[in-house]
């Protein structure tokens, strides 16, 4: 009992230390964002602010933060919905339907993970110009979906292959079509993997910058990363103001993980347990 208590105490201590190490950067951002510019330059970096100043957040909001935020939410949510739909359909066909070139198709999807984003910038730029969607939020959806599909298909195919075939055979005996099996059997059982893919894709797209830099020029269409880049260039010396911007930008991701951490952990560990 004593040894078990010592192990639990060590585990809790390690968890507490790890929490402080992981969460302290965010606390540092909030602490710095509440300082004035001169106070940040004069006082020690780790010191608490003498007076909590919220003017930095007011200036960030007045600088168009919510417009950039709404653009990022719109593009990310639409892209994630399309990614989930397309990748789940493709993964179901590859993993559950027998056809001649299934291995080749799967290999092509996996090979997409090895393509560097930067070599596609010029073709994607020319394509969006030809389609007439350059400098619009719609220009980001295509590249976002295309470069998120390989990893999404890779994860979902591995998960769907572990679903017992007997469930599908029972559904066929009941007269279910392929589409009904996909919607009523495979998709519900794949919720852990789907949630993991959705959260991973959302975080990846939320932080994406290079495509937004190339495909967006009008300030009204900028996403959050472009807005952060603008704040950084406009207020490069005002560190507290930049920290206020970063704090507001990081809050949605922290909230998503806080409420969906169970789904993330379950999706990440299910495949390991099956293996």
Average pLDDT over residues 172-189: 85
Top-confidence residue, 233 or 98: 98
Q: What is the pLDDT of residue 236?
A: 61
Q: What is the pLDDT of residue 273?
A: 43
Rounded to whole angstroms, how far apart are CA atoms 80 and 224? Answer: 17
pLDDT at 251: 84
Whole-number percent of the chain with pLDDT over 70: 92
Question: Which two structure tokens, joined as six digits, stand for 252?
Answer: 């949605």
Contact (CB, 8 A) for 86 and 109: no
In the predicted structure, residue 272 carries a pLDDT above the cut 60:
no
Residue 5: the pLDDT is: 76
pLDDT for position 85: 94
pLDDT of residue 270: 54
pLDDT at 22 over 60: yes
Inter-residue contact 242 to 112 (CB < 8 Å): no
* The pLDDT value given to residue 268: 57
Q: Residue 212 — pLDDT band, cuts 50, 70, 90?
A: very high
Q: How far apart are CA 68 and CA 249, in angstroms?
A: 10
Mean pLDDT (the chain) is: 85
pLDDT at 275: 41
State the pLDDT at residue 265.
Answer: 65
**Domain ranges in the chain?**
25-62+235-275, 72-223
CA distance 145 to 90: 13
pLDDT band (50, 70, 90) for residue 234: low
Mean pLDDT of 184-189: 88
Considering the four listed CATH numbers 1.10.3720.10, 1.10.1040.10, 3.20.20.70, 1.10.287.130, the one that applies to the domain covering 72-223 is: 1.10.3720.10
What would the pLDDT profile of 25-59 be if each residue is shown by its tens digit?
A: 888 888 888 888 888 888 887 888 888 888 889 98
pLDDT given at position 233: 64
Q: According to the per-residue pLDDT averaged within each range, which of 86-95, 166-175, 226-235 is highest? A: 86-95
**pLDDT over 90 percentage in the chain:** 28
Q: What is the pLDDT of residue 88?
A: 93
Residue-wise pLDDT for 61-89, tens only, equals 888 889 999 999 999 999 999 999 999 99
* Residue that is written with structure tokens 């292959």 in the block: 161
Q: Say if residue 96's pLDDT is above 90.
A: no
User: Two tokens at 260?
Assistant: 């969906």
The dihedral over CA atoms of 260, 264, 266, 267, expressed in degrees to the nearest 10, equals 130
Range from 27-36, 120-129, 159-168 that averages highest in pLDDT: 120-129
Distance CA 164, CA 160 (A): 9
């Amino acid at each position: 009992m004593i040894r078990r208590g010592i192990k639990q105490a060590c585990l809790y201590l390690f968890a507490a230390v790890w929490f402080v190490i992981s969460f302290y950067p965010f606390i540092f951002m909030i602490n710095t964002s509440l300082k004035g510019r001169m106070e940040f330059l004069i006082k020690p970096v780790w010191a608490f602010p003498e007076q909590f100043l919220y003017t930095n957040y007011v200036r960030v909001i007045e600088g168009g933060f919510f417009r950039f935020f709404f653009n990022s939410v719109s593009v990310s949510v639409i892209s994630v919905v399309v990614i989930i739909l397309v990748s789940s359909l493709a993964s179901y066909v590859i993993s559950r339907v027998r056809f001649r070139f299934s291995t080749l198709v799967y290999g092509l999807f996996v090979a997409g993970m090895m393509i560097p984003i930067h070599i596609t910038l010029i073709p994607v730029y020319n394509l969006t110009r030809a389609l007439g969607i350059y400098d619009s939020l719609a220009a980001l959806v295509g590249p976002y979906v295309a470069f998120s599909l390989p990893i999404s298909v890779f994860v979902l195919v591995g998960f769907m292959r572990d679903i017992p075939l007997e469930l599908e055979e029972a559904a066929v005996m009941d007269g279910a079509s392929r589409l009904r099996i996909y919607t009523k059997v495979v998709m519900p059982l794949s919720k852990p993997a789907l949630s993991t893919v959705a959260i991973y894709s959302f975080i990846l797209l939320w932080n994406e910058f290079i495509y937004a830099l190339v495909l967006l020029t009008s300030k009204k269409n900028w996403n959050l990363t472009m807005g952060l880049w603008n704040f950084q260039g406009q207020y490069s010396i005002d560190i507290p103001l930049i920290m206020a911007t970063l704090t507001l930008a990081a809050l949605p991701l922290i909230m998503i993980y806080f409420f969906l951490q169970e789904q993330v952990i379950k999706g990440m560990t299910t495949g390991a347990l099956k293996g």
